């Protein structure tokens, strides 16, 4: 979590001070205000053009249900902001140019030890494009004035799940992405840097281009791990990895209704409910207009200690991700 000083600095730099002022409780001991971001595709972006309207609807749905102590900020360029000024409240806008929507993957990873920026060079992207995206993003991120530490390791944010205390989950993709290091070196680097006592390395889901763990598991609290209801063979290998590396962790089976489609090489993420996002106050669970939606929410509510808030994703899941992939929380 950010210190009070860092949060106030961010507030001043981004102009959030006025919007935070409406919450008189902020700043008192025990207050849990959280800020999280979504990167809006530009109106000039051809790559996401077919989904632009669906994305706007997703953001509107999110704003409508956001917890009263959470602050959703939409990063937009000037032209896009002008186009959306009548459909998205101005207090939810933050100016910036981030040339991609999957903020989770190239943003810093936060643990109790601090903010850590890993190298964004995924095998599923052209390396020149990945560097360009990372450089543009970091220009925006550095404007926030927050302290962070660079880590010489290739790791997407979507491939690290943290329980908020002492444990993390990633997949075997991290080994393939860092062939210059041994598996033990990678594990030790992650544990030491992020100050983890436990780290589970899961097998990848067959057919998943990204190899991310946030399409497989979700921490429901510090000792309960939601795991997709995989078919028997994959479930057995996932459970073996969890049992080996995570002690005193209860596994909770979460509904899983994967679709067969692909979009630009990425598997449809509709029906993947573990791709939920957690703030200090709530867990935001994706909803896809499927029969399994209510069942998934019921499972989260039965086990999670925070408020569970469903978020209608619509067609966005077809692109290969949903709530967690598209967000990054600052505190």
Instruction: For the domain covering 4-18+32-329, report its CATH number.
Output: 3.75.10.10
Give yes or no for a contact between 123 and 176, defined as CB atoms under 8 angstroms apart.
Answer: yes
Burial class (CB in 10 A: 0-12, 13-18, 19+), 305: exposed
pLDDT at residue 40 is higher than 70 = yes
Q: Per residue in 94-131, pLDDT tens?
A: 999 999 999 999 999 999 999 999 999 999 999 999 99
Residue among 91, 82, 97, 87 nearest 40 (CA): 97
Retrieve residue 131's tokens: 């560097």
Cα 166 from Cα 162, distance rounded (Å): 8
Cα 100 to chain centroid, rounded:
14
Q: What is the pTM of this model?
A: 0.92
- Residue 304: its pLDDT value, please? 96
- Residue 11: its pLDDT value, please? 54
- Where would I find the beta strands (DSSP E) of 50-124? 70-76, 93-95, 109-111, 114-119
Q: Residue ranges of the domains in the chain?
A: 4-18+32-329
Q: Per residue in 159-210, pLDDT tens?
A: 999 999 999 999 999 999 999 999 999 999 999 999 999 999 999 999 999 9
Cα 138 from Cα 76, distance rounded (Å): 15
- Residue 129: its pLDDT value, please? 96
- Residue 6: its pLDDT value, please? 46
Cα 34 from Cα 170, distance rounded (Å): 24
pLDDT at residue 28 is higher than 50 = no
Cα 39 from Cα 41, distance rounded (Å): 6
Cα 263 to chain centroid, rounded:
20
Q: What's the mean per-residue pLDDT of the chain?
A: 91
Residues 6+ positions from 148 with CB-CB distance below 8 Å:
108, 114, 115, 116, 117, 141
């Amino acid at each position: 979590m950010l210190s009070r000083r860092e949060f106030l600095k961010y507030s001043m730099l981004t102009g959030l001070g006025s919007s935070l002022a409406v919450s008189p409780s902020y700043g008192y001991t025990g207050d849990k205000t959280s800020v999280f971001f979504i990167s809006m595709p530009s109106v000039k972006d051809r790559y996401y053009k077919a989904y632009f309207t669906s994305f706007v609807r997703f953001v509107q749905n999110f704003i409508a249900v956001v917890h009263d102590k959470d602050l959703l900020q939409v990063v937009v360029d000037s032209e896009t902001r002008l186009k959306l000024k009548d459909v998205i409240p101005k207090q939810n806008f933050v100016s910036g140019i981030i040339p991609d929507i999957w903020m989770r993957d190239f943003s810093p990873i936060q643990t109790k030890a601090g903010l850590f920026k890993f190298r964004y060079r995924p095998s599923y992207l052209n390396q020149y494009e990945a560097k360009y995206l990372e450089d543009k993003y970091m220009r925006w991120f550095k404007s926030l004035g927050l302290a962070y530490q660079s880590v010489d390791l290739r790791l997407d944010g979507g491939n690290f799940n943290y329980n908020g205390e002492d444990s993390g989950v990633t997949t075997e993709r991290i080994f393939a992405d860092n062939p210059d290091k041994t598996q033990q070196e990678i594990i030790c680097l992650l544990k030491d840097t992020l100050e983890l006592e436990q780290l589970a390395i899961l097998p990848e889901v067959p057919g998943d281009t990204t190899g991310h763990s946030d399409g497989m598991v979700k921490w429901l609290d510090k000792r309960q791990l939601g795991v997709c209801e995989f078919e028997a063979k994959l479930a057995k290998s996932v459970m073996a990895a969890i049992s080996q590396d995570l002690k005193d962790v209860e596994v909770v089976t979460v509904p899983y209704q994967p679709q067969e489609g692909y979009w630009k090489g990425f598997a449809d993420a509709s029906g993947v409910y573990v791709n939920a996002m957690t703030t200090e106050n709530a867990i935001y669970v994706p909803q896809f207009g499927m029969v399994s939606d209510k069942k998934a929410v019921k499972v989260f509510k039965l086990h999670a200690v925070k408020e569970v808030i469903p978020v209608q994703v619509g067609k966005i899941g077809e692109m290969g991700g949903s709530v967690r992939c598209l967000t990054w929380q600052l505190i």
